[in-house]
Amino acid sequence: MANVANAYRSKSLVYRAVEDNEEDKVFLHSLLLDPQSFHQNNYDDLLRPINRKTSDLHLKYKEPTRLIHVLICLPANDGEISDQDDAGSSAKQPVPIGSLNLHGVKEGQRHHRTLDIGILIATEYQGRGYGSEAIEWILNWGFEVAGLHRIGLQSASFNTGAIKLWKKLGFQHDGNDREAVWFNGGWHDEARFSMLESEWRAKVKLETAA
């Protein structure tokens, strides 16, 4: 992240802080309303309808455990139209399409310098490569800016698409917690992945040389 002026941008996305306003709370709540997408990535929580009060409390409870929490956005000039935009407005704003964070902050454990990635992409924007791009950005931020040593994530074994993506991005498979997840009437393993700073730097060096 040598260019600080573009610290919150990647190739096709921009990243901004979550504001304490109604628009951002409505958007974050919308990410929780798709049971298929949300539960694939948050399978620890019991699948049940989530109202606004619950999602607001979820945000309030989780924020202290996050080192960073941003909205993944499309730039205002990319031609996308947000439902939040006024049809006659000429001052378009970046369009939020997802949420991204590094979580696991615990007092007394900061010296381990290890956190986990949390990501949700709105259903209509999935399958376009935005998730991969956002994860590459948060890896860069975590290692280059925040000085982390290890960044991890987990996926239930039924989420084969996510597992394939983690491996493609260079995450190492640390192992499985056997039958740790009850989902859709059956038991599934929880697969754990991580990337070390040294692995990330070797990956960046290889990609830069290519």
CATH number of the domain encompassing residue 56: 3.40.630.30
Structural domain includes residue 3: no
Residues 6+ apart with CB under 8 A from 176: 157, 189, 190, 191, 192
pLDDT digits (tens, 9 = 90+) for 55-73: 999 889 999 999 999 999 9
The confidence score (pLDDT) of residue 78 equals 58
Residues 6+ apart with CB under 8 A from 69: 17, 18, 63, 99, 100, 101
pLDDT digits (tens, 9 = 90+) for 138-193: 999 999 999 999 999 999 999 999 999 999 999 999 999 999 999 889 999 999 99
Burial letters 55-82, b for 16+ CB under 10 A, else e: beebbeeeeebbebbbbbbbeeeeeeeb
Q: What is the mean pLDDT of residues 26-39?
A: 85
**How many Cα atoms sit within 13 Å of 91 on the Cβ side?**
0
* Contact (Cβ atoms closer than 8 angstroms) between residue 71 and residue 101: no
The confidence score (pLDDT) of residue 90 equals 44
Identify each DSSP E strand in 12-149 by its residue range.
14-17, 66-74, 95-103, 114-121
* Contact (Cβ atoms closer than 8 angstroms) between residue 177 and residue 192: yes
Structural domain includes residue 135: yes
Structural domain includes residue 16: yes
Residues 6+ apart with CB under 8 A from 209: none
Structural domain includes residue 114: yes
Question: Which CA distances in Å does 49 have to 11, 23, 32?
Answer: 35, 21, 9
Confidence of residue 81 (pLDDT cuts 50, 70, 90): very low
Round the CA-based radius of gyration of the chain to a whole number and report it: 18
Above pLDDT 70, what percent of the chain?
91
Number of folded domains that form the chain: 1
User: What is the extent of the structural domain holding 37?
Assistant: 9-209
Structural domain includes residue 4: no
The answer, yes or no, to whether residue 89 has pLDDT greater than 60, is no
Structural domain includes residue 182: yes
Q: Count other C-beta atoms under 10 Å from residue 26's C-beta.
A: 14
Structural domain includes residue 36: yes
More confidently predicted of 62 and 80: 62
| pTM to 2 decimal places | 0.89
Structural domain includes residue 37: yes
